[in-house]
């Protein structure tokens, strides 16, 4: 496969380097209708690592009845061995039981997942926002005692399909409560993809005023309305240096049907390469990995860069 690279025109408003937090193996595959075999998931992660992605969220230790597509979490990690563990291989956990399973598997990092809205908290965790924060408190405390790195996701930061636009101060309040538990990093989730660039700036300003600086923030945009890359570039110009993305643009949310795929990692890498921003990612290998996974899923990648460089994936 012949692959072209963008012409580099450095953008002085962007960071010199961006860390891509790859969510394809977890967030990308959790919404698939058919279960992807554990061996394929493990190979997917190997290929992502070989392409230069340093931080890869590998799987989720949630009850199989919640997300049956990720019921093989331990099998995937055992297949990967040390490559699947460590501080740059976080796994999602919903509660102490999930943490127990993650610790037994030898992980080095976890992520918890809260919600900025009451409706989604009930649908996703069967709890109120208050109850979910209370549930996460011992999870974070025990994880930190065990020496794990901890990330806190906040979903529905820009819009909620049941409640509509989400007030910025509501997002800030939930974010502060989760970070006060002791999390190392906050990920702002535009779960249904309704965010716009001005909204991104306003939320980041409000979080900074509330004591959560951009050095502790990652952004997680879904591309429902085609705004994920624009919103990401806005966040980067605001000082954010961690971006969640999913190879091939895979993803969605089982509990929010209007949530479509994540920002495609290839589209992000193309844009950053063109702007002179280092990511450490080999775009050619990444596109090849997308094409390979698309073959297993039986459909082409939605990533524009994959379509352009690989004839549709």
CA distance 308 to 3: 9
Q: Of 181, 240, 253, 272, which is the active-site residue? A: 253
Query: How many angstroms separate the Cα of 252 from the Cα of each of 7, 126, 243?
Result: 32, 19, 17
**What backbone torsions phi and psi does residue 276 show, to the nearest 5 degrees?**
75, 20
Instruction: Name the residue among 249, 285, 246 with its Cα closest to residue 23.
Output: 246
253 is catalytic: yes
Query: What one-character-per-residue DSSP string does 215-267 give?
Result: GGEEEEEB-TTS-HHHHHHHHHHTT--EEEEBGGG---BTTBTT--PBPBHHH
- Contact (Cβ atoms closer than 8 angstroms) between residue 187 and residue 156: no
State the SS3 of 50-110: HCCCCEECCEECCCCCCCHHHCCHHHHHHHHHHHHCCCCCCEECCCHHHHHHHHHCCCCEE
Q: Is the dihedral of CA 185, 253, 143, 134 positive or negative?
A: positive
Catalytic positions are 253
């Amino acid at each position: 496969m012949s692959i072209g690279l963008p012409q580099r025109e450095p953008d002085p408003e962007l960071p010199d380097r961006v860390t891509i937090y790859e969510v394809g193996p977890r967030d990308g595959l959790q919404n698939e209708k058919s279960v992807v075999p554990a061996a394929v998931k493990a190979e997917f992660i190997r290929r992502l690592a070989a392409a230069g992605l340093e931080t890869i969220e590998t799987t989720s230790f949630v009850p199989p009845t919640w997300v049956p597509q990720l019921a093989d979490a331990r099998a995937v990690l055992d297949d990967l061995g040390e490559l699947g563990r460590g501080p740059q291989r976080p796994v999602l956990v919903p509660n102490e039981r999930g943490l127990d399973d993650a610790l037994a598997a030898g992980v080095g990092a976890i992520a918890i997942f809260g919600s900025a809205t009451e409706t989604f908290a009930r649908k996703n965790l069967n709890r109120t926002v208050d109850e979910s924060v209370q549930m996460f408190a011992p999870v974070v405390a025990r994880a930190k005692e065990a020496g794990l790195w901890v990330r806190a996701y906040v979903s529905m930061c820009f819009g909620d399909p049941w409640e509509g636009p989400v007030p910025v101060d509501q997002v800030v309040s939930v974010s502060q409560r989760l970070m006060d538990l002791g999390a190392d990093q906050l990920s702002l989730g535009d779960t249904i993809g309704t965010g716009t660039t001005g909204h991104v700036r306003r939320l980041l300003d409000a979080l900074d005023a509330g004591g959560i600086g951009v050095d502790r923030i990652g952004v997680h945009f879904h591309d429902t309305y085609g705004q994920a890359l624009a919103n990401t570039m806005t966040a980067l110009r605001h000082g954010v240096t961690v971006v969640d993305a999913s190879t091939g643009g895979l993803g969605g949310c089982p509990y929010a049907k209007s949530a479509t795929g994540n920002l495609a990692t290839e589209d992000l890498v193309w844009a950053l390469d063109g702007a002179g921003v280092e990511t450490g990612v080999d775009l050619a290998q990444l596109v090849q990995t997308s094409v390979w996974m698309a073959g297993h899923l039986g459909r082409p990648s939605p990533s524009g860069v994959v379509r352009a460089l690989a004839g549709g994936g």
